[in-house]
Amino acid sequence: MEFMSSSSSSSSFSKSNPGRMYDVFINFRGEDTRRNFVCHLHSVLSNAGVNTFLDDENLVKGMELIQLMRAIEGSQISLVVFSKNYTQSTWCLTELENIIKCHRLHGHVVVPIFYHVSPSDVRRQEGDFGKALNASAEKIYSEDKYVLSRWGSALTTAANFCGWDVMKPG
């Protein structure tokens, strides 16, 4: 990733838009990736001078979803770490919807990272990834009958961006 290579380029993120709160927002399922991938990613970004939102550091106990949405909207880039259990989190999926909305409306950069999950499973919501998505949608289906369609669209859109498949070398 180009923006990790030099601190001079990373510091230009915030200077280019003084209204930005963060350079990068990391969207991920904590149980799958927090300790074995995301913490290392966050460390590399921080060491490069990239102002990164990570829920461990920036999330205050009792923080509401609306505050996470503001952090997304106040970021220039979102790294979306797709993992096997990503779709079990309705918060991850709701954040992803907002990330895609920010991309469409404001040119927000979206970089998918496929961590032990196939990009095609994310794109098509197949296998265990798709089953978990359906189960998550059923949890709130009575409130919002279009949620599965919106989440599926957001997943497909994000998976179609140029990203990184952790399982593939290089």
What CA–CA distances, in Å, run from 49 to 4, 40, 69, 136? Answer: 8, 14, 23, 36
| 126 is known as an active-site residue | no
Distances (CA, A) of 56 to 8, 92, 160: 26, 15, 28
Q: Sign of the CA dihedral 125, 128, 129, 132? A: positive
Residues 53 and 18: their CA atoms lie apart, in Å, by 16
Catalytic one among 31, 73, 95, 126?
95
Contact 59, 25 (CB under 8 A): no
The answer for residues whose C-beta is within 8 angstroms of residue 155's C-beta and 6 or more apart is: 87, 93, 96, 122, 123, 125, 133
User: What positions carry a catalytic annotation?
Assistant: 95
